[in-house]
Amino acid sequence: MRAVINPSWAVKPNGEVLKNPFIVIKNGRIEAYHRRKPEGEFKKWIQIEGVLYPPFVNCHTHLELSNLNFNPDNFKDFFQWLLWIIGSRATKTLPEIERAVRKGAELIKKSGTYYVGDISSFGVAPSVKLPVKAVTFREFIGKDLNPKEIPPPLSIHSIYSVSATAIKKIATDSLERGYKFQMHLAETPDEQLFAKCLPNRFESLIYPTIGRKRYEKLCAEGIVDYLKKLNALNENLIAVHCTNLSPKEAKELRKAKASAVLCPRSNLHLKTGFPPVEELLTLEKVGLGTDGLSSNVSLSVVEELRCLYYQLGCRVPLRELLPLITYKGAKVLNLQHYGETALFTVAKGNHSTPFEPLIKEGQQFGILDFSNTL
């Protein structure tokens, strides 16, 4: 069955903008975009006042932590927050975690996002049926593991919570089994100090509180050099946050063909800084993530994009930022056949450009799914 959708505006998966296009749908898939009314037999014509985008992508979140009551005013810095997280995680029951996953997924969908890169700390999220499509990364925290015993993809929490031995094993395994792995990278200045074996608050504050010491004394010139020493700076790395990378280190990520995910609101809430965005935007694979409701106040990637836009002083056009939550974000998560299914994010209303809704106060976004109904 063939049908035609005629929105006011459409943004194609490659970023091309079309005004009053005709989108031909066949058997739940996008057959073609037309600038003029197509000829032929069609069983249904649907006119939409608004903008159709490829489905939005949230590259990094923590659905299992969606029931935490986060308020940025409650924390003076990242380390006070980290101690709160460590204590809060230990108190959650299985039913609570399952409810948190469902709550987070519903909020993701309500914000107009369909694809999500989710970090599973408890192993609960992969078994929960969701209204969105999740790429679930199973998180490892600790000293040692056999990565081949864990279904991929995996997530390395950070250099301060995972041993160098385990980081190297997971990075090597990602190349052998062919999957991407996420890792919180340079979220705080202290991670750079940790990588250089200089005094830092992970060793002076966090470790004594939880009763352990540093696993190994691997010293490097910086956090990216630390990864290089472990063969973890490769094309499968998804570096999350990158808040305290130097411009030189950002270029090292690009050279390695790694991916990056920016979470600007989480960084501002936890007072950790602001990443070298303009350098990171040169990466082929770069996206936006909301982080979880454990460090953010919503799971809307549009609000994340808006924050980034204003933090950059509106110097980078919305046209250049939109790919971070569409096709570039899809590349980060390695989404195959992205934008081929008749599934769209929609911003209804009369808009002068398809980018206007991204900064329009009160604009609602939703999901239009024609993959099974046409």
The confidence score (pLDDT) of residue 374 equals 59
Average pLDDT of every residue of the chain: 97
Dist CA 121 CA 102 (whole Å): 15
**Residue type (1 letter), 150:** I
d(CA 237, CA 233): 6
Give me the phi and psi of 34, to 5 degrees please. -125, 140
Q: What is the DSSP string of 11-32?
A: E-TTS-EEES-EEEEETTEEEE
Q: What is the pLDDT of residue 128?
A: 97
Beta carbons within 8 Å of 331's beta carbon, 6+ residues apart: 259, 284, 285, 287
Q: What is the pLDDT of residue 89?
A: 85
CA-to-CA separations, 87 to 91, 142, 161, 275, in angstroms, rounded: 7, 17, 15, 28
Domains annotated on the chain, with CATH: 2-54+339-369 (2.30.40.10), 56-332 (3.20.20.140)
Quick one: how far is CA 307 from the chain centroid?
15
CA dist 115 to 50, 149, 274, 334, Å? 21, 26, 25, 11
Q: What is the C-alpha separation between 136 and 120, in angstroms, rounded?
A: 6
Per-residue pLDDT, averaged over 162-179, amounts to: 98
Which residue, chain included where needed, has tokens 């030189």? 248
Q: According to the model, what pLDDT value does residue 90 have?
A: 82
Q: What's the whole-number mean pLDDT along residues 124-153? A: 98
Q: Would you place residue 6 in the very low, low, confident or very high pLDDT band (cuts 50, 70, 90)?
A: very high
In contact, 261 and 236? CB cutoff 8 Å: no
Q: How far apart are CA 340 and CA 330, in angstroms?
A: 12
Helical H segments across 111-219, by residue range? 164-177, 189-195, 201, 207-210
Interatomic CA distance for residues 150 and 126, integer angstroms: 12
What number is the average pLDDT over the span 331-349? 98
Mind listing the pLDDT tens digit for each residue in 72-117? 999 999 999 999 999 998 888 999 999 999 999 999 999 999 999 9
Distance CA 182, CA 158 (A): 9
Cβ-contact 242, 189 below 8 angstroms: no
Strand partners, 33: 23
Calpha distance 300→263 (Å, rounded):
11
Distance, C-alpha 21 to centroid of its chain = 30
DSSP structural state of residue 131: S
pLDDT in tens, 261-282: 999 999 999 999 999 999 999 9
Q: What is the pLDDT of residue 372?
A: 84
Q: Are strands 343-348 and 286-288 parallel, antiparallel or unpaired?
A: unpaired
Is pLDDT of 240 > 90?
yes
* Model pLDDT, residue 91: 87
What local confidence, expressed as pLDDT, does residue 256 receive?
A: 98
For residue 373, pLDDT over 90 is answered with no
